[in-house]
Structures are given as structure tokens and as C-alpha cells.
Chains A and B, each alone.
Chain A
Amino acid sequence: MSLNRDQINSIAHLARLSLTEAEIPVYQDSLSKIVELVGELDAANTAGIEPMAHPLTGLSARLRPDVVTEKDQHELYQRNAPQVEAALYLVPKVIE
């Protein structure tokens, strides 16, 4: 099953990845090959089989107590921030 340009563009858009014109056919090709590879799954008979979301079958959520354990360390955390002003992370204007 082959993926076309529009599909590649819309996937890249959903994933917020910029693609150059030259890259589009490259990803078209490799993604189509991968889709072909995973197409092998169709042959498997999975009637009545539950999906397995993680290997820890039979275990359930562990709950933590409702206690505040963190203190304000924003200066430390914001050392890695590309653009910060008045402790706010800056991004180009968000239009509602």
C-alpha cells in the first residue's frame, strides 16, 4: 500500500514536522515500505485476542498519596528555556 504526497504532507502536519520538497518523496518511499512491512500483520488470526497495552498484565495502577512534595524551583528548570520573560515561557502569539 503506497502513500501519496498529500498523505505525507498531512501526516507531517499532524506531527508538526517541516519537510522540504526534496524530503517528501524520500519519506513517501520509506513510509510506504514500512506500511507494507506491517501489512504482514493482516495474516495473523487475532479473533478473540485482547490487545496487550503493556507487559505488566495483571497489575493495576499504583496510587500515590495526595501530598505536596514539590517546591518552587522554576529558576533551575528555566535555565534550559530558550525564551523566558518574567518567568513565563515565550512563544509566538497564540491566536484563539
Chain B
Amino acid sequence: MHQLTLSELAKKLRAKEFSVTELTKSLLGRIAASAPTLNAFITVTAESAMTQAKAADGLFASGSAGPLTGLPLAHKDIFCTQGVKTSCGSKMLDNFVSPYDATVVEKLNAAGMVMLGKTNMDEFAMGSSNETSYYGPVRNPWDLSLVPGGSSGGSAAAVAARLAPIATATDTGGSIRQPASLCGVTGIKPTYGRVSRYGMIAFASSLDQGGLISQSAEDAAMVLGAMSGFDPRDSTSVDTPVPNYVETLNAPLTGLRIGLIKEFFEKGLDANVENLIREALKVYEKLGAKLVEVKLPALPLSVPTYYVVAPAECSSNLARFDGVRYGYRAQDPKDLMDLYKRSRGEGFGAEVKRRIMTGTYVLSAGYYDAYYLKAQRVRQLINQDFKRAFETVDVLIGPTAPDVAFALGAKASDPIQMYLNDIYTIGANLAGVPALSIPCGFVRDLPVGLQIAGPHFAEAKLLNVAHAYQQETDWHRRIPAAFVRELLS
């Protein structure tokens, strides 16, 4: 069962080839068996999953099951889940049980999906390797000595290892797409404002977006509609209709104009990775697409722009973690200042503290204009670059990450090296445009991702373009050797 895509699972459940309870039990078993090696989950909600599964089976029996009823999923531990520990990968929230459900969780529960558990992640979504989690690193199912990428490393590893057929995730600078690329799975970051941020613990409010990591574009299309849409509880949620993303998956690609970002194919890109990208582009040409070179001259400034804006916003967003109303509190504080400093100093990990301090610095008196305001102007330039590009092309295609997965610990001591992993993904967050990553081959037996980006609210087009490629290739069906078989706990 674990080798089936979400779409295949849906069909077989409807055909009553097996029950939701059987499926859920089987996946819970895989999760338990892989826990010591992958560490993809922080919390496994076995009991409630079985309860949800039973209810779903009831709906199938009475003939009132919907398109997503009984389909299992995992939620990145950044989404608040009512009555369930929500840690955000941090010691600061190790003892936190959320009293409410995030809108995304509410929506997918209502659609009848079964929550298997909460996936591991970089602490407060800050990282590109899932090495900063309080709960230990997640390992890449393709090679356990390597990182899965981050911050949604747990979700990516879980889907790659087929512990869950699909998982929610979040992307602020590439945290869905980069781990998807490193783990050989599909990951989509929707347009900013498409998916409600209510209940999605904030890292950088103008960049964060909730999305999915799945086995295929088709699977993502099935669930994206259900999790998207206007939410009155989120003032940055956009009130535009949500299309049926499945309906347009098979639209023909003739006449599709694909933009290749000149700046992405310059230095920094591994030659083998570049080859795979170019192979993928040939597939698109065969399908009737035209390739056009576009220039986005401000794009190379994405990383410095991001490392002003994101830390600035996070320094403010994380100020609420002070040991007063919830979360970690230092023992025996001698006064208020001590309570704040030690609760935060002890509760947060190094990368989080680094970013909070960076953010505090760039917003501080005397530096605001030179850093924050300047970065927001460069952001405007990047946004204009994308807008201009989309006047002449329908989508942009290029690499997701500069290289394949790297060794655990290899970049942990040099934050700048770590930050440069996001060089191709950050631009989409700054401009708020949707982008996804799909597997397009292997280098040294490790997966490589192809990134497809589009203008605002072009998710349907992106999924269609991705799906077309996935009809012509089978990279997305590959499962890491260690996880192909049934796992015995």
C-alpha cells in the first residue's frame, strides 16, 4: 500500500480493496519502524489516527465519502493541532499543546483526511538541512548519512520513504522546494495569500506560505484545493476563487513559453545538475513548449535581501516567546529580565538566536534605512523582474537547489554556506509567486529537483506543466532502496 500514490489510494479505497483502518495501521507501522533511522516525526498521533480512520471507513460504508476521505497525511509540526503537541522543532514549545487547529488543519480534517502525526523540522522553520531541530536531525531516505534538506525535512523524508503519502509543509525561502528536491519528491509553494497562515506558526510573515510535499503533481492537485482559500482570520489571505486543480492537470502544453533565467545558469550550479535540467527542458520541447531566455538582473540579490527581511520579521514574531503565557520558562528567575533572557536564551537554539539577533540589528536605530528599507526596495526590484519576465513567458524553469544532498554536519558550522542552498528558491518568496519542485533525475544516485515558477495564482498551470513531465518520466515513482519494501518494526 505504501507504494501507491495518493490518487491510487483514493481509487482503491473507493473500490474497497482495503480499508482506511488497514492503510493507517500499515503506515503507522512504517513510521514506528523508521523512527530510529529517519527521525521524520516528532509526534505520531496513532490513537487519534485510528479513530479518524474508523470514522472514514464508516463514511465509505454509508456511501458518503468525499474525494479526500480516509487519505492519510502528516502535518509539519509548525501547524497548530488542537490537543496535540505542536513544537515547531523547538525546546521553546516542547511542552506546548495547542488549544486550537490551524485553518489548514481544520480544512483537511473536514475533508476527512487522517492525520498520522507531526513531522520534524528545522527549529522555527529556520534552516535548509533539518539539522537545527531540538528533536535531532532528520536523515535523507536516499542516504542516511545525508541531510534531507529543510526546513520541511521531516515532511520530505516522510513522503520520500512512503511513511505518509502526502504531507503539509511551509516555505519561507525554499523550505518546501529544497527538501523536495533533495529527497526526490514533489513540493509546491503556492502564491502568497493562497493558503491561510492562521495557525501556522510565524517565522517571516511576508514570506511564509503553507503548501504540500507529495509524490506527484497530481497528488498535490488533489489536496491543494482543499487547503486553499480565503480565511477571515488571516488579513493577508486573498479572496479569489480556488480552481479545481485536478481538472486542468492534463491540458496540452503546445505553445507553452518556458523562461530560462539567465542568472541561474551562471556560476554556482553543479554541472551534473545542470545537465539534468537541460534534459528535462528537452522533454518540454518535445511536448510543444518553447524555451526563451529571460533576464532577472536583481535576482542574484535574493539571498542578501532575504537575510535582512526574514530575520527582521522573525525577530519580532518570536518576541512572544517569553516564558510568561506558554512554552519554556527558565527555572527560578531572579527578576523579570532574567526570566526573559534565560527563557529565551535556553529555549531557542543557535540558528534561531542568530537570526533574531540579525533581525534586531537590521531594524535598530541607525540601521533601519541602510538595511531594512534598502532590502525592501531591492525586493521591489526582484518583484518587478518577475512581473516583467511573466509578460513574455508563462512559466520559469530552472534548478531548485545548486547541488544534491550534502552530508550531515558538513555545512552546520558555516551559516553563509547553508544560506546559499536557497539561492534559487528565495526569489519566489520575495515576489510571492507560486513555485514547485519535481524530481528530474539523479546525480551520484541522489535526487535532483526541477523548479517551475509562475505568476501570482498560476498554481493550476504549474501543476499542469509538472504533471505533463511526470506523464513522460518516472523519476517521481522512484522509492529509496531502504524503503521500497514493507518495513517491520
Q: Within 8 Å by CB, do A and B touch in the complex?
A: yes
A interface residues with partner B (beta carbon < 8 Å): 3, 7-8, 11-12, 14-19, 26-27, 30-31, 33-35, 37-42, 44, 46, 49-57, 59, 61-62, 64, 73, 76-77, 79-83, 89, 91-94
Q: Is the CB of A54 within 8 A of B236?
A: yes
CB of B243 within 8 Å of the partner chain? no
User: Which stretch of B156-164, B277-285, B371-379 is in the interface?
Assistant: B371-379
B interface residues with partner A (beta carbon < 8 Å): 95-97, 99, 192-193, 205-206, 232, 235-236, 238-239, 298, 301, 303-305, 307-308, 315, 319, 322-327, 329, 333-342, 344-346, 348, 350, 353-354, 356-358, 360-362, 364, 371, 373-381, 383, 415-416, 419, 430-433, 456
Tell me the complex Cα distance, A56–B324, Å.
34
Q: Is the CB of B304 within 8 A of A92?
A: no
- Min CB gap A93→B, angstroms: 7
Q: Is the CB of A79 within 8 A of B97?
A: yes
Tell me the complex Cα distance, A44–B302, Å.
12
Q: Is the CB of B353 within 8 A of A17?
A: yes
- Min CB gap B262→A, angstroms: 18
Q: Is the CB of A81 within 8 A of B193?
A: no
Tell me the complex Cα distance, A55–B419, Å.
22
Q: Is the CB of B335 within 8 A of A15?
A: no
| A–B pairs, 18, beta carbons within 8 Å | A7-B361, A15-B356, A16-B344, A17-B341, A27-B353, A27-B357, A37-B307, A41-B308, A42-B374, A44-B374, A44-B381, A51-B373, A51-B380, A53-B376, A54-B236, A56-B193, A77-B99, A80-B95
Tell me the complex Cα distance, A34–B420, Å.
12
Q: Is the CB of A41 within 8 A of B344?
A: no
User: Which listed residue, B323, B381, B430, touches A49 by the CB 8 Å rule?
Assistant: B381
Q: Is the CB of B360 within 8 A of A11?
A: yes
Chain A residues contacting B377 (CB-CB under 8 Å) are 44, 46, 49-52
- Min CB gap B303→A, angstroms: 7
A-B contact count (CB 8 A): 166
User: Which listed residue, B333, B354, B364, touches A30 by the CB 8 Å rule?
Assistant: B354
Q: Is the CB of B341 within 8 A of A52?
A: no
Q: Is the CB of A38 within 8 A of B338?
A: no
Cβ-closest chain B residue relative to A45: B381
Chain A residues contacting B301 (CB-CB under 8 Å) are 40-41, 44
Cβ-closest chain A residue relative to B239: A62
Chain B residues contacting A27 (CB-CB under 8 Å) are 353-354, 357
- Min CB gap B416→A, angstroms: 5
Q: Is the CB of A55 within 8 A of B383?
A: yes
User: Which listed residue, A31, A52, A59, touches B383 by the CB 8 Å rule?
Assistant: A52
Tell me the complex Cα distance, A30–B413, Å.
9
Known: A31-B358, A55-B432. 20 other contacts (CB 8 A): A11-B361, A15-B357, A16-B340, A17-B353, A18-B342, A18-B344, A18-B346, A33-B416, A34-B416, A52-B376, A52-B380, A54-B236, A62-B239, A77-B99, A77-B325, A80-B95, A81-B326, A82-B329, A92-B334, A92-B338
Q: Is the CB of A17 within 8 A of B348?
A: yes
